[in-house]
């Protein structure tokens, strides 16, 4: 039972263009969403988060959008840089437990 | 300003041996989470602990796995009588009162 899904295993974009990573969830009890970036042989690094009371959160080149009715969130990176090449995980949490439910990850490659 | 520390970074065990994975949370963090990442998969929640208490162990296999977070010292994830299917990357995360969890570099367990 995959409650958080990232349906695109990989994405390739040109440097300077926008990267859009998508994530869908099924559990309407989730009220907090996070994006993590992961390089090989390292732990996930927190990027940006959004509470369910918001529909957008922006931090520099990173913006997360939340569509609660569609149970969908997306991460926009603009402009994309080669150093952004990594695996991106979305994760969801319900406030009661604190545990994170992760998607399968999307590998982003930004070409110079 | 040390982040989450995990050791060892790599651990090799033969089938039937015990594996002990250690996690020291960030300074000031009292919540510890363990996650497992199998090859080609996302991270899966295992257990959530606070000092001297297991809060949620719904992701822990019923047998051979145990976790503790004593009053003094690191959190320990213990796997008894390891099998090949236990080979994975094990990540520890810590948090304070917020939902943001900060991850350690992981321990890569290989069972021969």
Q: What is the pLDDT of residue A20?
A: 98
- Shortest Cα distance, chain B CAs vs residue A29, angstroms: 15
Q: What is the pLDDT of residue B96?
A: 86
CA separation for the pair A53, B109 (Å, rounded): 40
CA separation for the pair B45, B34 (Å, rounded): 6
Task: With beta carbons less than 8 A apart as the criterion, state whether A102 and A89 touch.
Answer: yes
Best of B99, B103, B104, B105 to disrupt the A interface (most A CBs within 10 Å) is: B99
What does the pLDDT look like over A20-74, one tens digit per residue? Answer: 999 999 999 999 999 999 998 899 999 999 999 999 999 999 999 999 999 999 9
């Amino acid at each position: 039972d995959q409650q958080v899904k990232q349906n695109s295993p990989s994405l390739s974009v040109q440097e300077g263009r926008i990267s859009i990573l998508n994530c869908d969830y099924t559990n309407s009890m989730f009220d907090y969403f996070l994006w993590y970036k992961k390089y090989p042989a390292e732990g996930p690094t927190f990027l940006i988060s959004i509470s369910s009371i918001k529909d957008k959160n922006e931090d520099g080149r990173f913006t997360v959008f939340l569509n609660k009715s569609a149970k969908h969130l997306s991460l926009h990176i603009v402009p994309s840089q080669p150093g952004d090449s990594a695996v991106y995980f979305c994760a969801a949490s319900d406030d009661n437990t604190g545990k994170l439910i992760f998607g399968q990850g999307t590998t982003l490659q930004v070409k110079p | 300003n040390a982040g989450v520390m995990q050791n060892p970074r790599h651990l090799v065990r033969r089938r039937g041996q015990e594996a002990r994975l250690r996690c020291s949370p960030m300074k000031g963090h009292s919540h510890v989470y363990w996650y497992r990442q199998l090859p080609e998969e996302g991270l899966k929640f295992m257990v959530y602990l606070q000092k001297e208490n297991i809060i949620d162990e719904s992701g822990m296999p019923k047998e051979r796995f145990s976790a503790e977070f004593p009053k003094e010292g690191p959190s320990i994830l213990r796997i008894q009588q390891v099998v090949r299917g236990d080979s994975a990357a094990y990540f520890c995360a810590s948090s304070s009162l917020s939902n943001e969890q900060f991850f350690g570099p992981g321990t890569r367990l290989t069972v021969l």
